[in-house]
Amino acid sequence: MKYAIGSANPAKVKAVEQMIKEPVQPLDVPSGVSPQPLSDEETRLGAVNRAKACVEKGAELGFGLEGGVTDMEGTLYLCNWGALADQDGHLVVASGAKIPLPDEIAAPIRKGSELGEVMASFTSDKDIRKKAGAIGVLTNGELARDEMFMHIVKLLYGQYKFQK
User: pLDDT tens digit string along 113-164?
Assistant: 999 999 999 999 998 888 888 999 999 999 998 999 999 999 999 999 999 7
Distance CA(37)–CA(114), nearest Å, equals 9
The CA distance from 126 to 152, in Å, is 25
pLDDT tens, position by position, 32-63: 999 999 999 999 999 999 999 999 999 999 99
Q: Taking the CB of residue 126, how many other CB atoms lie within 10 A of it?
A: 12
pLDDT tens figures, 73-111: 999 999 999 999 999 999 999 999 999 999 999 999 999
| CA distances for 148 relative to 27, 41, 66, 98, angstroms | 20, 19, 11, 10
